[in-house]
Amino acid sequence: MTKIRLVVVDDHELVRKGILSFLLTEPDIEVVGEGKSGAEAIQLAKKHTPDVVLMDLLMENGNGIEATKVIVDTGLNSRVVILTSYYDEKEVIPALEAGAFSFLLKTSSAAEVVTAIRKAAKGESVIEPKVTNVMVKRLRHHEKKLHDTLTEREMDVLQCISEGMTNAEISEDLFIGIKTVKTHVSNILSKLSVADRTQAAVYANRNSISKPKKD
């Protein structure tokens, strides 16, 4: 029986070494590469075509989601197992959409991680209960996010509102009339089911809708 070929990617040396020290005692798993960024993950995956890539999501240089997407899309038969610190909704869903095969939290025991690696090699997915909760919640509550129905222009206006701008300021910023701004605002309030611009601003902030800085 051939060993499971594994690449470990995490920008925290401590975590990487911790994982490695565990895997040393597992005879059926061989670590063929070790990286500390999304870019390195991609290189290592292409070079070694491992069975499994164990990847952190939040890394300093190039995040794990992009790397996951690339690794999955390039058709290497590598399965990406995400091992991350927090179950942040903003990260979990995109990671799974990017093609992550399993999803673990660092609160998992070492044994669970090892099991997940073996299962991934066999084609079985392992998703943390906390993560599935987030998924279910998303499917139940916000199958489509409210602001997905906003038009481009309405998004522009909402971004301005989220900065605390007045209608007059928005009209100057977007080079349109105040009346037009008011129309957009009314439509936004209606689509987001909120009563006034303040609530719209709160919504925008909570959903990480912010104005991109112009150069």
By the criterion CB under 8 A, which residues form the site for a second copy? 11-19, 21-22, 58, 60, 85-86, 106-110, 113, 161-164, 166, 194-199, 201-203, 205-206
Task: Output the smallest distance, CB 161 to a second copy, in A.
Answer: 7
Cβ neighbors of 50 (< 8 A, separation 6 or more) are: 5, 6, 7, 32, 33, 44, 78
Q: Name which of 65, 211, 209, 212 is nearest 146 in CA terms.
A: 209
When CB distances are held under 5 to 8 angstroms depending on the partner's kind, the choice from a second copy, DNA, none that residue 151 binds is DNA
Cβ neighbors of 69 (< 8 A, separation 6 or more) are: 98, 99
184 binds DNA (CB under 7 A): yes
Orientation angle between helical segments 197-206 and 178-192, nearest 10 degrees: 60
Q: What count of other Cβ atoms lies within 10 Å of the Cβ of residue 193? A: 9
Q: What string marks each residue from 161 to 180 as x (binds DNA by CB under 7 A) or -?
A: -----xxx-----x-xxxxx
Q: Which is nearer to DNA, 183 or 207 (CB)?
A: 183
For β-strands 79-84 and 102-105, DSSP reports them as parallel
When CB distances are held under 5 to 8 angstroms depending on the partner's kind, the choice from DNA, a second copy, none that residue 30 binds is none
Residues near DNA (CB under 7 A) are 151-154, 166-168, 174, 176-180, 182-186, 189-190, 195-198
